[in-house]
Chain A
Amino acid sequence: MSWLRANWLRLVVHIGALVPLGVIILDNYRYNLTANPIQEITARTGKAALVLLVLSLACTPLNTVFGFRQALRMRRALGLYGFMYVALHLAVFAVLDYGLDLRLIGQTIAEKYYIVAGFLAFLILIPLAVTSTRGWMARLGKRWKSLHKLVYLAVPLAVAHFALLVKSLSSRPEPLIFGAVTIALLALRIPEVRRAGANYASKLRYSIRGARRFSPTQRPHCAENTTNSSS
């Protein structure tokens, strides 16, 4: 039980990150990959990659703003799972879709802005994935941190990749949601924004906890409020 309490987040992340892949494999045998399975797998791996990469960006603010320290330990796993889906996404595109026809692939990458953006994001993520080990961290020292700041470029590129391939953003707003969340997560790394956010978060937490516990003796200074709003 105590093991579970200490490791629940780890468990959630590892299982959660493998679910999209598991569902794809399951759906393959259930013939549930639409009439256009290659397209479907491309879309699903892409979506999973984007969600995981955005979540990896959320770890730091979850700690600095919300004081959720455990999140920090999940940053590497989320980033690497994200990269795994990026690699799968690209493999499906290059092998299943384009049959490794390098001429055709080159032409397509150069021709479409959305593929340029997605491919750049992939290229940026390669060194980050390679240097994600403890050994590389030690070897690179201070430079490791600057190198891994490149993720601030990779994730927006991945969001742009998604936004550019959608027919119309007003009818399919998902890329806008990913974009807004990414901007918020990046903004929370600016010291002033982070401090303001942390302030607000602690106030919020305080009032929620106060209302939930509703024990006027423990929190005399908010007793009036809680008794009045207890209904």
Chain B
Amino acid sequence: MQKIRSSEITPEHVYLSRRRFMRLGALALGSTALTACGGQLGETLGGRPAPAAPTEPTDGAANALGIKRDEFGDPANSFETISTYNNYYEFTEDKEGVARLAANFKAEPWTVTVGGLVNNPRTYDIDDLRRKFDQEERIYRLRCVEGWSMVIPWIGFPLHKLLKDVQPKAEAKYVRFESLLDPKQYPNQRPLSFYPWPYTEGLRLDEAMHDLTLMVTGLYGKPLPNSNGAPLRLAVPWKYGFKSIKAIVKIELTAEQPKTLWNTLAPHEYGFYSNVNPQRPHPRWSQATERRIGESGRRPTLMFNGYAEQVAGLYAGMDLQENY
């Protein structure tokens, strides 16, 4: 047998990097070809902004170019994208179909009842909320459980301000949220619907009191579009998007963990917490990676959607595989 000198053997890291190089080469070739073809896919792959690029007001955290970015420097998705690609099952399960069906939704007048285990139960008019609490811009990532994500410049106020206003009692441990029930406005709330309407969600009180938890009234400096849950929705950026309930009419403080719509329907898939967790697989969608809308390929999903520094403490000592 011919002897191979050890110096002739390609070291593993060189071999691997060569494979990686060839793979990237093939990929680059393919993408370049597609990019050259242009069109929507070409631009997605080429990373050039689509024609509906943000031409939005440049207030708030906008930089010199007028593009809003999250704290990692990733640009916000356009107003157009954010308001026309929505999961809003009360209208339809078709993400592209929501905006059209929501066009005539009556978001005014609107009242929100805040009650349950509080000392000062109240019903707020949506205008009261906008006046009473300073509206601020928060640029959050939204990670959908379906494996896609966006960067969204919300306008709103932290929920803890509202909760302080109604003074939770000592026994209050959870916050329950309820969306509008109105089959006349929501075509998918028809009789015999598969879903136990109205949409309900819940947070632990300490999660609800966290400064990141935002009551949203607007987007890109404008009033919230109907398709995004006008006039009032929640944004809990470290949890999967379905926790951020839309069109809220009722907020209740409770002692028991509230039932939530998705947890009721498929408890093994959607837990009460539903924190973004790349370590906990879902039967259908990748939770280890995600596609940022407007990009090709995938990015690794970050623990707590990149907000671990702020919120990991809420779950200290908890087994997040069990409490998913």
Contact = CB atoms under 8 A, between A and B. Distances in A.
B40 A31 contact: yes
Interface in A179-206: none
Given A100-B26, A112-B283, A165-B284, A35 B265 contact: no
B267 interface: no
Given A35-B85, A99-B27, A112-B284, A171 B45 contact: no
Interface string A73-104: 00000000000000000000001111111101
A174 B49 CA distance: 35
Contacts of A113: 283
A29 interface: yes
A41 interface: yes
Contacts of B283: 112-114, 164
A115 B38 CA distance: 30
A37 interface: yes
Interface in A11-70: 25, 27-29, 31-39, 41
Given A39-B291, A97-B291, A171-B194, A34 B95 contact: yes
B298 A99 contact: yes
A167 B298 CA distance: 22
B51 interface: yes
A27 B39 CA distance: 9
Nearest to B192: A170
Contacts of A96: 41, 45, 296-297
Nearest to B44: A37
A37 B289 contact: no
Contacts of A29: 38-40
A28 B93 contact: no
B22 to A, nearest CB: 10
A143 interface: no
Contacts of A41: 41
Interface in B24-64: 26-27, 30, 37-42, 44-45, 50-52
A219 interface: no
Given A100-B26, A111-B281, A112-B283, A34 B96 contact: yes
A168 interface: yes
Interface of A: 25, 27-29, 31-39, 41, 95-102, 104, 107-108, 111-114, 164-165, 167-168, 170-172
6 contacts: A36-B293, A97-B296, A97-B297, A101-B298, A112-B281, A168-B266
Closest 6 CB pairs of A and B: A28-B39, A35-B85, A99-B297, A29-B39, A170-B194, A171-B194
Interface of B: 23, 26-27, 30, 37-42, 44-45, 50-52, 77, 81, 84-85, 93, 95-96, 148, 194-195, 265-266, 281, 283-284, 286, 288-289, 291, 293-294, 296-298
Given A37-B40, A171-B195, 5 more contacts: A28-B37, A29-B38, A39-B291, A99-B296, A164-B283
